[in-house]
Structure 1
């Protein structure tokens, strides 16, 4: 697939995610961490305009000069912007105007790419594609939060994409969960970070060596029924399993179960993108904060793996159904360098007060993740498809 075909595929995928929505769904912003779908569609379009067309395509005229203020996310270099908490107040531009904006920019990008790119610009286009794929994952998670906090629990679609089961090998029943086991990794030096010629984000560099003591890592993530045992055993009522900050988070927010779990008439249910359904114990656990992940691991007599332990063992276990919390703070690797200009704000400015997640999830576009990929969130957030893999 050439670069223009990749561009069309990625852009079409963003719109396909939003196709089942009603227009009213496009504008809702229940909390600061969730952006309205309309904003995602506009922001990912603005990225192409601001980073590619305006600086590199002489004669290009922006679709609407005000969109730079409306759809800039956090790039201080590029100028003022609507504050994040106000994205849900953007009743204008309308949904129809956003789709017209996408077409305007897509037509310009098609002409720009088809005319032949300078070799130095190809990495910028690839970065833009990966940026939009990140927002496709956010579209799924934000749409789920928007609909999952609607009292009617409306379904995004009848396509149940967000509750995969981890099946055993050898022709076992597709809903059967693989027996819990551990792999043992020997002590030694391991190389961490991206290698090869393919795309990576700057936070995956530079590749470097780390020493790891012998450790064991679970062969699969935790399931709903395993986490339910933690709840039944009073996990949310016993401070002994929790970090002090996590215990404060539990009490302040009255947390007693994972996000989207609802106890209805004595039976647990879970909101999915296909609507509210009885909780399936065999499904992989999802929508867990770092605080909850640590508490569960401690209750089980285990711990979370560091991101280096996770990456060193990644080829030996199955991953990709849930983003998996690690015990590592989000920090720069040795030799990390931020790019000049606005592109340099992409990852480096967030390397504080966040924890690393590894892997991918059911909302991650195919081919977007890799063993060296580093996701990161504040420890109390759980609207992403986050799960737990324990270590000892």
Structure 2
């Protein structure tokens, strides 16, 4: 993240913003330069936009907010605003639009970025809520990194030889007991102080939980394979009515990208097919699959409140931390983030990132489904636009937490909230289980 707070000086904020903008653009460039122009403009899945749309959309949002609004400058390409408005055209229809070609898109985002750096140098970074702490710039950094993760998901859906490369994640290690007790009582959820936190993370408020147990690690490939072997996909007992209807209609028999290889399972990831690692968290499962596994295991999915309490609550001090390990920004020792690797790491790979209660890998590796619908907190206020969060509030979307190996640390916090339809499987999503604590267990 940024570590920016009210004590951070203006010049330091400028330096940090510039570094974050540069990091995000290097990643966008790497994801789009990895393929030829044909792959840039084609649609690899109806669920996703062509990569070239994402690239120009990144530039258009940057132009709208930083060049025109914050900077008060003349438009660079006002004529393309509607083409790159995510609410105007469904992803499936975007290839039919008169989009900017690869060279034109690259030129456009480059021109916008030059103007943005000029705006950054001249902006007071105060006097408007949009400017305080560099929020508008931080919002755009996060927007680009979120689209970079979307483009990474598009790469996963791409058919062909591998074009992305990264070292394997570190090995796993001991994780202690399978589950830990999270004590009942109040804790502070959300934030009112994180400079770049988005509107749905605000305001900080008190929540109360009963005592509950939560798994110390995400559910692994090996554990999920046992659910499959026990006939989990063919047994209606484990599925909600909506989940069972979907699994039958879609013909699901395993996580997305899994296939049988003799008497074992293999998974294709970014063009490489290999046997599943039983110790890695399962990924590319829908909410319905996570829910069914949890019921089969005699447990349930955690609520969003429970997830955040497990991730932030320090039982010694009673305060909520920025991250499970403390208040310092993530490092390579804490979490599998920043597209540093192209898969989740085996459980126990990041002992330095564990929470005070001993819960591992809450940040990075896989987004974790919760049982909660997406809604605003009490006191929610739209800022700076309703289309970021508010238009998605309701029972259609389930909340995911924690980020994935494809998330950047600028766009992941222990308060950060993601959401998606419960059928989605192309995202880098997994889960962990929870269960109620009986009176004897919570004593």
Same fold, TM exceeding 0.5?
A: yes
Seen in structure 2, the aligned counterparts of structure 1 residues 305 and 82 have a Cα distance that, compared at 3 Å, is closer
- Select the residue among 319, 323, 329 that pairs with 2:367: 323
1:302 to 299, 302, 307: 299
Note if 1:346 corresponds to 2:388: yes
Q: Tell me how far apart the structure 2 counterparts of residues 166 and 241 of structure 1 sit (CA, whole Å).
A: 32
Answer whether contact 1:355 1:377 (CA < 8 A) is retained.
yes
Question: What is aligned with 1:132?
Answer: 144
Distance 1:59 1:361, change over 3 A: closer
How far 1:253 sits from its partner (Å)? 0.5
Per the TM alignment, residue 165 of structure 1 is displaced from its structure 2 partner at its CA by: 6.9
Number of matched residues? 368
- Unaligned runs of 5+ residues in structure 1 are 75-80, 170-177
Q: CA, structure 1 residues 110+286, in 2 after alignment: closer, same or farther (shift >3 Å)?
A: same
Where do residues 33-48 of structure 1 align in structure 2 (5 Å cutoff)?
A: 33-48=47-62
Cα distance 1:65–1:116, how it changes in 2: closer, same or farther (>3 A)?
Answer: closer
Q: CA deviation at 1:223?
A: 0.8
Q: Quote the offset at 1:116 in angstroms.
A: 3.7
CA distance in 2, matches of 1:14, 1:35: 15
Q: What residue is the counterpart of 1:73 in the other structure?
A: 86
Deviation of residue 166 (structure 1)?
Answer: 6.7
Q: Which residue of 2 aligns with 1:355?
A: 398
The 5 A counterparts of 1:268-283 are 268-273=265-270, 275-283=272-280
Residue 156 of structure 2 is aligned to residue 144 of structure 1: yes
Quickly say closer, same or farther: Cα 1:166–1:216, change in 2 above 3 A.
farther
SS of 1:70 mapped into structure 2: coil
Asked whether the 8 Å contact 1:42–1:102 carries over to 2, the reply is yes
Cα distance in 1 for partners of 2:104, 2:113 equals 14
Alignment equivalent of 1:10, drawn from 1, 24, 29: 24
Alignment partners' CA distance in 2, 1:201 and 1:65: 26
Instruction: Tell me which residue corresponds to 2:67.
Output: 53
**C-alpha distance in 2, partners of 1:217/1:266?**
32
- Give the aligned partner of residue 39 of structure 2: 25
Taking structure 1 as reference, are residues 301 and 100 closer, same or farther at Cα in structure 2, changes over 3 Å only?
Answer: same
SS of the counterpart of 2:306? helix
Partner of 2:102: 95
Counterpart of 2:173 in structure 1 is 168
Pairwise CA RMSD of aligned residues?
2.0
1:266 deviates by 4.3
CA offsets, 1:180-216, max 9 Å, x none?
Answer: 6111011111221125343211101121112211100
**Higher alpha-carbon deviation: 136-145 or 39-48:** 136-145
Partners of 2:298 and 2:42 lie apart in 1 by 41
Identify the residue that residue 113 of structure 1 maps to in structure 2. Answer: 120
Long gaps (5+) in structure 2: 1-14, 312-323, 325-354, 436-443
TM-score (norm 1): 0.88
Q: Given the superposition, is the C-alpha separation of residues 136 and 59 from structure 1 closer, same or farther in structure 2, using an over 3 Å criterion?
A: closer
